[in-house]
Structure 1
Amino acid sequence: MRVVITGLGVCAPNGVGLTNFTHSLKYGICGISFHQELADLGFGCQIAGKPEITDFDMDNNFTPLERKGLNSSGLVYGFIAGAEAWADAGLKPMGKDKPDWDSGVIFGTGILGTDKFRESIHLIDSKKTRRLGSTSVMQTMASGISAYLGGKLGLGNQITTNSSACATGTEAIILGMERIRSRKAKIMLVGSCSDSGPYIWGGFDAMRILPTQYNSDPLRASRPMSATAAGFVPGSGAGALVLESLDHAMARGATIYAEVLGGAVNSGGQRGNGSMTAPNSEGVQRCIQAALSDANLNKNEIDVINGHLTATSKDADEISNWSKALGRSGKDFPYINTTKSLVGHCLAASGSVEAVASVLQFKEEMVFGNSNCDDLHPEILKRVDVTKIPLKTISYNPNMIAKASFGFGDVNACIIFKAYKPD
């Protein structure tokens, strides 16, 4: 069963909606900015990537009643992205009488509704429990985003949420692909979201893995693959994709962005050089190779990589793992880019936001450029020819794109996208 992508949606720090996001990727527009709230709270890193949600965005996606008491940024981001992807696929919400039994949702998150949790705790401690409102549970349960999307769209197939740290979004796509492959669904809305704010980002600031020297220069702060990378910039947002069986997409005349050719998930078991915060290199290489095997590809067929590449000391290790897994180096190495230089690290949302960016390269016939890495790490230069890491967007017609994500807990996910060509 072949699986294709027929819809995309995004809510990113550098662009809410596909049009804005695509423009930012083409021209290297960064969505990272200084946040006074973080400075007031004494954070070392006072910058972040946060989607700019306007009143128009809210009015266009939520009724006045739905907006009342809505205090979950991740749910807002996820619904905006998911609804856009559904509409982009030419699909509409079901009527009130019955659901679409053949369509479902797998939409992941890390922590949902942190601000709502804080508000709820304050009300409970103040003996004002009755003021919590009827949506506090929906906004704070992990599956709130998938349940909300499923209910708004009227979907009757599997409705669930996955959570695997920074690998969440990429894993969600693989899970959706597998459900369609097994003929248990015809359409799956997949993606992931992440809350924004100090209660999400504080733990990382305490770990001292965020850059602190760029508070006055946020556009230069996220520096994947750079010799002067100083840590990842925290971000938030959501990405969404509509996956569909090829037969179903063709029968309804859907526009097809790309084919989902295969994917794999695994864990390094926090053994060897793996830990809670660092991936086991063998695990990463096995995951990439398993994705290739699932897609029935050889190592030479990948021509573009969208890496995890968070702007930490592990970037050079990631490049080494790609090189070893593919058996390719120098000018033979594929083009590689990272979306994080423009949006920061969107945590649980990162894989889905970056997957949308990856797939857009087929439509635009481009490889999006990399920012802030004109001083490439010397260990990376030993593996990859400088021409394979474009600093600006280049015209190119990709055929096979590999997207990988590696998360806390030493968990890995890799997926292969293929340019769609009608038989």
Structure 2
Amino acid sequence: MHLQRVVITGMGAISPLGSGVKKLWNGLVAGRSGISRMEELDAVKGLRPRIAGRVPEVNAKAIPRKARRTMSNLSIFAALAALEAIEQSGIDEATLSGGRTGLSVGSTTGSSQALEQFFKLYLPENSLEAIKSTEFFKIMNHSAAANLSQFLNISGRVIAASAACSTGCQNIGLAAEAVAAGKQDVMLCGGTDELHPLTVGTFDIIEAASTSGEDDPATASRPFDAERDGIVCSEGAGILLLESYEHATARGAEILAEISGFSSLCDSSNMASPSADAIALSMSEALKDAGISGTDIDYVNAHATGTLQGDASEAQAVADLLGGKPPVSSLKGHLGHTMAASGAIETIATIRMMQESTIIPTANLRNPAEECSVLNNALHLQKRPITYALKNNFALGGINTSLVLRRA
């Protein structure tokens, strides 16, 4: 096995702030919120939350109808983000289909919308007669990866890691490892998810969902704040195009950033409550992989979803490992929690921060909780150079992931 430097040459995003990386970045800089009232939640008995982050209408027709037939929203989001990343990278079709380009993209589950439709048709009479064959391709867990590989004519390795909220970050790391090991020259990677009442209901049942913000949705998601009360669910997709440094420079590509470290570890101590020690170990292993120390980190993009235990554990872990030097912020105050897409969308935003030497603050962080005040919380927009950034994502089941990004 031989190790190569891994660089990012393309990025694409679909988020509650709109279609494209430009709308994502401009919305974050302006402090806009992608959270709104979701009327379809009113019809669900026993469900308390009423707000979520919806992706504004997208141009699905940019994808040929033949390819769209097997795509649910989560695959459509991923396909549009992939097209943007490919366009920015300048990769040609021959390279995409040549066998040395692979793909690593996941979602939390297959399409919840398609699954609901399937059982609506099946359960009344235990009959499959009304179900179209294309529905199965939307339901399968690797739907996004399969649809993308078919749509883009990818013939290299295809990975579809699914690790709930760590999905996007983990797929980026796995893709980087494939390139670093020389298994592929190019990898498209990231995560995608679509919003459904069942997603919101899952977090409500385990009492991790925010029930505030009905009158003012933009203020509901409050990472690290003393008044935080849980997750605000949302949707979207983030796709990055990775290459070996040699491959990118040989074709004269613009390098946006470098992935210099990755860690994915399991916290086996608890299914739902994250451990500060396990989070610190994940970050420490990513730093070790990058060959740097904690003093080299200039910014931390936190997972921080607005839950009481999760934010407190991450704050303690970051403080223990890195001290109070690097500014820390979470983007979930702006975007909500985009689930499997969060690691990828937030990585893209972090790279834009590095490019612009600008740190986006945590939205709605007015009064940092005592247990989160050990951090150097970014409360305001800052102009500050970032050479190394640390990106965290943690998931139910104890799947912890951390990335180290280096400025181009």
TM-score between both structures, scaled by the size of structure 1: 0.91
The equivalent residue for 1:46 is: 50
Tell whether 2:307 aligns with 1:312: yes
What does residue range 18-417 of structure 1 map to in structure 2 within 5 Å? 18-42=21-45, 43-54=47-58, 57-60=59-62, 62-68=63-69, 70=71, 72-94=72-94, 99-125=97-123, 126=125, 129-269=128-268, 271=269, 275-314=270-309, 315-326=311-322, 328-329=323-324, 333-381=325-373, 383-384=374-375, 388-417=376-405
Query: Residues 75 and 112 of structure 1 are in contact (CA less than 8 Å); yes or no, is this contact kept in structure 2?
Result: no
Q: Is the contact between residue 75 and residue 148 of structure 2 (CA under 8 Å) also seen in structure 1?
A: no
Residue identity opposite 1:117 in structure 2? L
Which range is displaced more, 117-126 or 237-246?
117-126
Which is further off, 304-313 or 115-124? 115-124
Q: How far 1:92 moved relative to its partner? A: 3.7
Deviations 1:309-349 (A, max 9, x none): 111112122111011122x12xxx20111110011111221
Q: CA deviation at 1:363?
A: 2.0
Residue range with higher mean Cα deviation, 136-145 or 336-345 = 136-145
Deviations 1:20-66 (A, max 9, x none): 11101111111000011102224210000121123xx1122x22444
Displacement, 1:94? 4.4
Alpha-carbon separation, structure 2, partners of 1:394 and 1:348: 28
Structure 2: which amino acid aligns with 1:124? Y
**Could you tell me which amino acid in structure 1 is paired with residue 110 of structure 2?**
L
Query: 1:200, CA displacement in angstroms?
Result: 2.1
Deviations, residues 164-213 of structure 1 (Å, cap 9, x unaligned):
11111111111011101110000000101112111222121222221213
Q: Percent identity?
A: 28
Separation in structure 2 between the aligned mates of residue 156 and residue 183 of structure 1, nearest angstrom: 16
Query: Unpaired runs of 5+ in structure 2?
Result: none
Is the CA contact (8 Å cut-off) linking 2:274 and 2:313 kept in structure 1?
A: no
Shift of 1:68: 4.9
- Please tell me whether the aligned partners of residues 26 and 369 of structure 1 are also in contact (alpha carbons under 8 angstroms): no
Count the aligned residue pairs: 402
Unaligned segments of structure 1, at least 5 residues: none
Q: Per-residue deviation at 1:128?
A: 6.0
Asked whether the equivalents of residues 224 and 310 of structure 1 are also in contact (C-alpha less than 8 Å), the reply is yes
What per-residue deviation string (whole Å, max 9, x for no partner) do you get for residues 126-180 of structure 1?
Answer: 5663543342222111112111111221222111200111111111111011101
> TM-score scaled by structure 2?
0.94
RMSD: 1.7
CA shift at 1:250, angstroms? 0.4
Question: Retained in 2: the 8 A contact 1:189–1:241?
Answer: yes
CA distance in 2, matches of 1:122, 1:244: 44
Mapped partners of 1:392, 1:91: distance in 2: 37
